[in-house]
Amino acid sequence: MTSRDVAPSGTDNEASSRRLETTVHDVAKDLRRVTASTTFPLDLPGSADAAASRDRLVVQLDEHLLPRLKELSSPAIVVIAGSTGAGKSTLYNSLLGEEVSAAGVLRPTTRRPVLSHHPLDEDVLVTGPATRSSRLVAHDAVPRGVALLDAPDLDSLASENREIAGQLLEAADLWLFVTTASRYGDALPWKTLGRARERGASVAVVLNRVSRQNLGTIRADLLQRLRDHGMEKVPLFVVPDVGPHEGLLEPEAVAPISRWLAMLGGPDRSRSVIVRTLKGSLAALPAWVTMLTDAVDAQVAAADTLRADVDGVVPEVQDMARTAITGGVVARGPVSSAWSQGVSGSRVDGVKVKAGTARSSRRRGRAREDALDSVRDSVERAVRRSLVAAGTTAHDAIADRLGGPDASPGATTLAPLLDDAPSREARDRRADDATRSWLDEGDAVVDALLAGGARTEEAAARALGRRGLSTVLLTAAIGSDDALRLADRVLDGGHDEPVGALREALVRRAAEIIDAEAAPLREALDVPDLHDDASVALSVRLAELRRLV
């Protein structure tokens, strides 16, 4: 619900800022949320103590501070009371800037009490007689720290209303008694004010509907009566008579009361009461939070070091893998033997070439393609072994960096992520997928060569078959000189680009395999409590605590 705000002083923006200012309870509640969600993922010296301290702070907030702060932060109940026809509900609605409590000429008007409070005070509103018997309304125009209660008439014809009004006055923190120029001399106002004095309750009086020509005389008379009753310090507000009207009073008419209510409530007053009451407990919080903040910062610094350790290993192993692939290591041994048996033995490399173009029938091409399948199988196995070896090397290098005598603090937390069995299974799957996709890329390269319709490429595919030509290019890419010479012959020197592209594609896949070994470690370090801003939330709460206490 929104409404016009009657500024207690200055501009509307100043009033809004005052009403929305953070309270001690707000800060403590936020501190509890941030503290409970703080974790210490890395096993560092002191992290166990920090976690235990965090848990103790949460318990302290839950079981002691927050309940007491809620009680102390609960809005002061200001009951607007008075006799029939005094204009309580009209005054109440005018303070809020809109009709919240029904007002009219029928008596008694107020039946069920209405309790209005600021929306941000909802979770600190303590349950009691005032809240149980009233209709609760969250309203922006109510200052924080105050709850306005429109009570039934004290002299209501309905006995139930009179009883409720009496109960609410007993439960109130402050009585705002409304009377009129024609009724302030009656016995009821002074009886009510006497009860308040006996109870020790704070009281203010609103003299409503005072004609301007008699204002000075009536005000002076009422002030004298208050002095005679020992109530010279009771605030007195005079609302001039505006004649017959419907709806709200003008903001100017109730502005002094609005200013007074804003001074009564608000975070500043609440804060001073709370700090006095819980001085020791609140004073201990900054040091407690500082310790947690320092522990979180230590976690962040350790995580940065561990990331650098992991990221430092990966490029080194990737360079080794590139050197092995470009140096022809993958083509040695089994691949070389398969080429000798499957190609040279079947005279696949004996393709005739005239004027840069291979000469062969399709039938002979299919036979050569079949003969090259054994080479393709050997290439597939060799590439897979190479990729697995690259991943294993990366795994072992990272394990040595994190598990050696000079390992950085917190490295032991990452050790379970380097467990051999799960790592090996995942590595094998990645190598299988990468190998198959690389072989498919070889077929795609041949398709791209033939898409141009060039005579040389079409003749090479006819002489070796599409899959056979792909096998030759793939074998050349891993470093087979024999395959490179055959590719050079059948493509008339046009082999450099496709072979180079396939070689780089394999280097890229090896780099990805190696990088994947570091991925679980990076993921473990990429959590909010290890980010650079991990301690910001705690630091903000710390700054708020220091400002408030």
Which residues, including other chains, have CB under 8 Å from residue 168's CB and lie 6 or more apart? 79, 81, 113, 129, 130, 133, 134, 149, 151
Residue 24: which H helix or E strand, with range? helix 24-37
Percent of the chain with pLDDT over 90: 48
Size (the chain), residues: 549
Between CA 40 and CA 298 the distance in angstroms is 9
Of 98, 428, 43, 66, the residue nearest 249 (C-alpha): 98
Q: Answer whether residue 275 shows pLDDT above 80.
A: no
**Alpha-carbon 431 to chain mean position:** 38
pLDDT for 269 = 59
Average pLDDT across the chain, whole number:
85
Q: Average pLDDT of 361-381? A: 91
The residue that leads in pLDDT, 493 or 199, is 493
Residue 356's CB is within 10 A of a number of other CB atoms, namely 14
pLDDT for 320 = 97
- Lowest average pLDDT, out of 94-98, 160-164, 392-396, goes to 160-164
pLDDT for 267 = 58
Which residues, including other chains, have CB under 8 Å from residue 371's CB and lie 6 or more apart? 342, 343, 346, 348, 468
Q: Average pLDDT of 128-151? A: 87
Between CA 316 and CA 308 the distance in angstroms is 13
Give the angle subtended at the CA of 467 by the CAs of 462 and 469, to the nearest 5°: 60
Q: What is the dihedral of CA 368, 370, 372, 373, to 10 degrees?
A: 170
pLDDT for 58 = 93
Q: Are 479 and 329 in contact (CB under 8 A)?
A: yes
Q: What is the dihedral of CA 228, 230, 233, 237, to 10 degrees?
A: -50
Residue 178: which H helix or E strand, with range? strand 174-180
Predicted model pTM: 0.65
292-341 pLDDT, tens per residue?
999 999 999 999 999 999 999 999 999 999 999 999 999 999 999 998 88
208-227 pLDDT, tens per residue?
989 888 888 999 998 999 89
Q: Answer whether residue 511 shows pLDDT above 70.
A: yes
Between CA 120 and CA 132 the distance in angstroms is 19
392-417 pLDDT, tens per residue?
999 999 999 998 888 999 999 998 88
